[in-house]
Amino acid sequence: AEPQVAYAQDEHGRPFIVVREQGKKTRAQGIQALKNHISAAKSVAQIVRTSLGPRGLDKILVSPDGDIQVTNDGATIMQNMELESQIARLMVQLSSSQDSEIGDGTTGVVVLAGALMEQSEALIDRGIHPIRIADGYERACGVAVKALEKVADRVEFGQGAGEQEELMKTARTCLGSKIVSKAGDLFARIAVDAVLSVADLARRDVDFELIKVDGKSGGSLEDTALVKGVVVDKDFSHPQMPREVRDARIAILTCPFEPPRPKTKHKLDISSVEEYKKLQEYEKQTFENMIKRVKDCGANLVICQWGFDDEANHLLLQHDLPAVRWVGGPELELIAIATNARIVPRFEDLSPEKLGRAGLVREVGFGTTRDKMLVIEECANPRAVTVFVRGSNKMIIDEAKRALHDAICVVRNLVRDNRVVYGGGAAEIAASIAVTKAADEIATIEQYAMRAFAAALDAIPLALAENSGLSPIETLAELKSRQITEGTSVLGVDCMLTGNSDMRSAHVFDPYLSKRQQMELSTQLCRAILKIDDVIEQHNVE
């Protein structure tokens, strides 16, 4: 019997699913336990299935403190669901492993795993032992991956201008299903530029650490920009300081930079105006000495973790030493990396070789808002880049950042391995055909599992068609028969209803690595679940 699935909200208003059968007190074992697991996996897959593809629907997630997120990103949806069942949690992990290794395909991997579990249920009903199913799946996965390899094409690109068309189109496909799709071309350009500026093409390596994605509400998505350097949400401490510093030599201080304050534990003994003035004079003198020391060491800009008061600020202005105050620890580190600076924790440690270098530090306004940001460019370490996302509110910015992350990952994956397979389910259909064919050549019982695997692969084009308002079965049948009769593997679901199912000419492709990872991860998970016949809850004895 189908388990009853209910959607509920916890006390914080977060959505979660209750799979009734899992809630029963009795501990199910053997086949019954397995079937419970399958239904848990299926119900999770069902939830994200409707988000798959460019016409997929978004979900609203409500966080414990009432924040609302609108997203279409599989991994995000999964991470925010409170799940009752252990198996459902495994599905969440599945999507996060796809996310951490590839960064894209997080919805697809869950849909595929759900379909594999669903298919195995029918086989179990027919009396096939779960272990045999697991073995058949593994074999089928091998065949499917080989098929992917066979149908993969290479995307050629280079660092020069005009050599990035194909990368752009791939990034564009990835952004197609997200909120940002209206600014898709800009975001695709940014993703490609960001990756190529930090990439080492000879070693096929991309240092992700060097790409920072930052955002601030205000303006619109179109104001989003890539800065070859670091962006900090701060401005120069005094409005009369110059708005830009060229050939900056930067002292980064994590110690206080202000006149010494008489500590409260020493009793102040000021009995006359005279003495007060003397104290003031002394304070001023010491701070001027500090400024002199900074300047003597060659610095023409100070970036401080701490603040200083108006008087100190004024002295800095008088002595032509622009400063930025209240910069957070992570930003300081980023600036230090980008400018090859050493952070100075004690004033006495200040020395010329610890200064960071940047060709240009300036205040920039982004978009239409009046607030300014500090942009540090032409850095000593030119490979650090920052994407600065603008949007009308935090929700849009967060989703835009996620989308950009996906697009950056897609481009990164192509730098690592430039093979692509065709999207819209074309690659899955090709793999499904190959697996079915291989199953026909096998005499053992695994052939059933292999056919089931092929049917599970079909779940991707089926879901894409359904989400686009097409008739799923008809669409799949037509595509499959055309792929076989025309001997091509580029035909996929025409989600955008352009009248063209040729995914190659429509430039809909996914990185080969991403598809392979989807298949391998979901097969692995299913095999693991098929081998579980008991869940024993460990209770903490306290």
Residue type, 320: D
The C-alpha atoms of residue 221 and residue 205 are separated, in whole angstroms, by 29
CB of 109 to ligand ADP, least distance (A): 7
Count of residues of this chain found to bind ligand ADP when the rule CB under 6 A is applied: 25
Using CB under 6 A as the binding rule, whether residue 511 contacts ligand ADP is answered as no
Using CB under 6 A as the binding rule, whether residue 413 contacts ligand ADP is answered as no
Q: Which span sits near ligand ADP by CB under 6 A: 117-125, 173-181, 199-207, 286-294?
A: 173-181
CB of 499 to ligand ADP, least distance (A): 12
Which residue of 3, 81, 104, 137 would you call a contact of ligand ADP, by CB under 6 A? 104
Beta strands in 370-508 (DSSP E): 372-379, 385-391, 419-422
CB of 59 to ligand ADP, least distance (A): 12
**Residues whose CB is less than 8 angstroms from the CB of residue 296 and which lie 6 or more positions away in sequence, other chains included:** none
CB of 211 to ligand ADP, least distance (A): 20
Using CB under 6 A as the binding rule, whether residue 472 contacts ligand ADP is answered as no
Using CB under 6 A as the binding rule, whether residue 495 contacts ligand ADP is answered as yes
> Do residues 255 and 249 make contact, with C-beta atoms less than 8 angstroms apart?
no
Using CB under 6 A as the binding rule, whether residue 184 contacts ligand ADP is answered as no
Using CB under 6 A as the binding rule, whether residue 18 contacts ligand ADP is answered as no
Using CB under 6 A as the binding rule, whether residue 52 contacts ligand ADP is answered as yes
CB of 437 to ligand ADP, least distance (A): 22
Which residue of 53, 114, 184, 215 would you call a contact of ligand ADP, by CB under 6 A? 53
What token pair was written down for 527? 């095999």
Which residue, 108 or 215, is less far from ligand ADP as judged by CB? Answer: 108
Using CB under 6 A as the binding rule, whether residue 106 contacts ligand ADP is answered as yes
Which residue, 268 or 473, is less far from ligand ADP as judged by CB? Answer: 473
Helix (H) or strand (E) segment spanning residue 44: helix 30-49
CA 293 to chain centre: 44
The C-alpha atoms of residue 542 and residue 538 are separated, in whole angstroms, by 12
Which residue of 19, 49, 74, 221 would you call a contact of ligand ADP, by CB under 6 A? 74
Using CB under 6 A as the binding rule, whether residue 138 contacts ligand ADP is answered as no
Angle between helix axes 106-125 and 512-530 (nearest 10 degrees) is 40
The C-alpha atoms of residue 402 and residue 76 are separated, in whole angstroms, by 9
> Do residues 466 and 52 make contact, with C-beta atoms less than 8 angstroms apart?
no
Using CB under 6 A as the binding rule, whether residue 56 contacts ligand ADP is answered as yes
CB of 80 to ligand ADP, least distance (A): 15
Using CB under 6 A as the binding rule, whether residue 508 contacts ligand ADP is answered as yes
Using CB under 6 A as the binding rule, whether residue 493 contacts ligand ADP is answered as yes
What token pair was written down for 216? 């601030």
Q: Which span sits near ligand ADP by CB under 6 A: 52-60, 157-165, 214-222, 343-351?
A: 52-60
**Residues whose CB is less than 8 angstroms from the CB of residue 84 and which lie 6 or more positions away in sequence, other chains included:** 16, 17, 18, 19, 22, 23
The C-alpha atoms of residue 13 and residue 281 are separated, in whole angstroms, by 60
What token pair was written down for 196? 């190529």
Using CB under 6 A as the binding rule, whether residue 173 contacts ligand ADP is answered as yes
Q: What are phi and psi of 384, to 5 degrees?
A: -75, 130
Using CB under 6 A as the binding rule, whether residue 496 contacts ligand ADP is answered as yes
Helix (H) or strand (E) segment spanning residue 142: helix 130-151
Using CB under 6 A as the binding rule, whether residue 464 contacts ligand ADP is answered as yes
Which residue, 69 or 339, is less far from ligand ADP as judged by CB? Answer: 69
Which residue of 3, 219, 322, 424 would you call a contact of ligand ADP, by CB under 6 A? 424
Using CB under 6 A as the binding rule, whether residue 467 contacts ligand ADP is answered as no
DSSP 293-321: HHHHTT-SEEEESS---HHHHHHHHHTT-
CB of 99 to ligand ADP, least distance (A): 9
> Do residues 520 and 453 make contact, with C-beta atoms less than 8 angstroms apart?
no
Side-chain-facing half-sphere of 231: CA atoms under 13 Å: 23
Residue closest to 186 by CA, chosen among 221, 228, 219, 216: 221
Q: Which span sits near ligand ADP by CB under 6 A: 35-43, 99-107, 335-343, 471-479?
A: 99-107
CB of 95 to ligand ADP, least distance (A): 8
Which residue of 76, 164, 170, 177 would you call a contact of ligand ADP, by CB under 6 A? 177
Using CB under 6 A as the binding rule, whether residue 71 contacts ligand ADP is answered as no
Q: Which span sits near ligand ADP by CB under 6 A: 60-68, 150-158, 411-419, 488-496?
A: 488-496
Question: Which residue number has the CB closest to ligand ADP?
Answer: 423
> Do residues 429 and 209 make contact, with C-beta atoms less than 8 angstroms apart?
no
CB of 38 to ligand ADP, least distance (A): 21
The C-alpha atoms of residue 310 and residue 284 are separated, in whole angstroms, by 12
Using CB under 6 A as the binding rule, whether residue 170 contacts ligand ADP is answered as no
The C-alpha atoms of residue 379 and residue 382 are separated, in whole angstroms, by 5
Residue closest to 379 by CA, chosen among 350, 330, 336, 344: 336
Beta strands 356-365 and 244-253: pairing type? antiparallel
Beta strands 225-227 and 385-391: pairing type? antiparallel
CB of 107 to ligand ADP, least distance (A): 3
What token pair was written down for 120? 């195995």
Q: Which span sits near ligand ADP by CB under 6 A: 132-140, 313-321, 339-347, 492-500?
A: 492-500
> Do residues 338 and 384 make contact, with C-beta atoms less than 8 angstroms apart?
yes
Burial class (CB in 10 A: 0-12, 13-18, 19+), 336: buried
Catalytic positions are 73, 106-107, 406
Q: Which span sits near ligand ADP by CB under 6 A: 102-110, 118-126, 199-207, 213-221?
A: 102-110
Residues contributing to the site for ligand ADP (CB under 6 A): 51-54, 56, 72, 74, 104-108, 173, 176-177, 423-424, 460, 464, 492-493, 495-496, 508, 510
